[in-house]
Structure 1
Amino acid sequence: MIGAAALNRDLVDVAGGRARLETPAAVLDLDLFEANMARMSAACAAAGVALRPHAKSHKCAEIARRQIAAGALGVCCAKPGELLALHAAGIDDLFLSAPVASARKIDALARAAAAGARIDLVVERPDLARAYAAAARRHGTRFGALVDLDTGLKRSGVADPAAAVAIATAIAAEDTLVYRGVQAYHGRMQHIDGFAERRAVGADVNGVLAGLIGALTAAGFAPNIVSGGGTGSFAIDGAAGILTEIQAGSYVFMDEGYASVDSTGAGHADFGPALRVAVTVIGHSSAGFAITDGGSKSFALDGPAPRVFLAGREIGRIEWCGDEFGRILPADGGAPLAVGTVVECTVPHCDPTINLHDWLHVCRGDRLVAQWPVEARGRAD
Structure 2
Amino acid sequence: MRGVAALNAPLIGTPDSRAMLETPALVLDAAAFEANTAQLAALSGAHGMGLRPHAKTHKCATIAKRQLALGANGIACAKPGELLALFEAGIRPLMLTAPIASARKIARLADAAARGAELTVVVDRVDLVEAFASAARAAGARIDVLIDCDTGLGRTGVVTADEAVALARAVAAEDSLRYVGVQAYAGLVQHVHAHVDRRAANDAANARLRAILDGLEAAGLAASIVSGGGTGSHLLDFEAGLLTEVQAGSYIFMDEGYQPVDFHGTETAVFATALFVDVTVVAHSAAGEAITDAGSKSLAIDGPPPRVFRDGVEIGRIEWAGDEFGRVKTAAGHEAPAPGTRLACTVPHCDPTANLHDFIHIVRDGRLVEIWAIEGRGLSD
Q: CA deviation at 1:235?
A: 0.4
Q: Is 1:38 aligned to 2:14, yes or no?
A: no
Q: 8 Å contact 1:260–1:268 — kept in the other structure?
A: no
Amino acid at match of 1:207: A
The offset of 1:365, in angstroms, is 1.0
TM-score normalized with structure 2 length: 0.99
Taking the TM superposition and a 5 Å limit, the aligned residue runs for 1:103-252 are 103-252=103-252
Q: Give distance in 1, aligned partners of 2:123 and 2:339.
A: 54
Q: Which runs of 5+ in 2 are unaligned?
A: none
Aligned residue number for residue 55 of structure 2:
55
Q: Deviations over 1:233-260 (max 9, x none)?
A: 0000110010000000000011000000
Q: Which amino acid aligns with 1:133?
A: A
Unaligned 5+ segments in structure 1 are none
User: TM-score, length-normalised on structure 1?
Assistant: 0.99
> SS of 1:189's equivalent?
coil
Q: Distance in 2 between matches of 1:350 and 1:320?
A: 17
Taking the aligned partners of 1:137 and 1:239, their CA distance within structure 2 comes to 40
> What is the CA–CA distance in structure 2 between the aligned matches of 1:100 and 1:110, rounded to whole Å?
13
Match for 1:59: what amino acid? K
Contact 1:59 1:377 in 2 (8 A): yes
Q: CA deviation at 1:45?
A: 1.0
Question: What is the aligned partner in structure 2 of residue 102 from structure 1?
Answer: 102
What do residues 2-53 of structure 1 show as CA deviations (whole Å, max 9, x unaligned)?
2111100111000010011000010001011001001111111111110000
The question of whether the paired residues in 2 share the 8 Å contact of 1:316 and 1:330 is answered with yes
- 1:153 aligned counterpart, secondary structure: coil
| Structure 2 CA distance for aligned equivalents of residues 80 and 123 of structure 1 | 14
Question: How much has 1:268 moved relative to structure 2?
Answer: 2.7
* AA partner of residue 369 (structure 1): V
Q: Residues 123-180 of structure 1, C-alpha deviation per residue, up to 9 Å, x if partnerless?
A: 1111111110111111111000001010000100000211110100000000111111
> Over residues 56-110 of structure 1, what are the superposed CA-to-partner deviations in whole Å (9 max), with x where a residue is unaligned?
0000000000000011111000011110011011111100000010000000001
Structure 2 counterpart of 1:368? 368
Q: Distance in 2 between matches of 1:313 and 1:114?
A: 52
Indicate if the aligned counterparts of 2:315 and 2:334 stay in contact, CA closer than 8 A.
Answer: no
Aligned length: 381
Task: Give the equivalent residue in structure 2 for 1:309.
Answer: 309
- TM-superposed CA distance for 1:332, in Å, is 3.0
Cα offset, 1:188, TM superposition: 1.4
The answer as to 2:74 corresponding to 1:74 is yes
Task: State the shift of 1:269 in Å.
Answer: 3.2
Q: Distance in 2 between matches of 1:172 and 1:4?
A: 50
* Shift, 1:311, TM fit: 2.0
> Hey, what's the Cα distance between the residues in 2 that align with 1:325 and 1:333?
24
Q: CA RMSD in A?
A: 0.8
Tell me, in whole angstroms, the C-alpha distance in 2 between the residues paired with 1:20 and 1:320.
Answer: 24
After TM superposition, what 4+ stretches of structure 1 lie above 6 angstroms from structure 2?
A: none
State the match for 2:280 in structure 1. 280
Aligned pairs for 1:79-98 within 5 A: 79-98=79-98
User: How many Å separate the matches in 2 of 1:328 and 1:355?
Assistant: 23
Whether the aligned pair in 2 keeps the contact of 1:260 and 1:269 (CA below 8 Å) is no
Structure-2 separation of matches of 1:232 and 1:255: 12
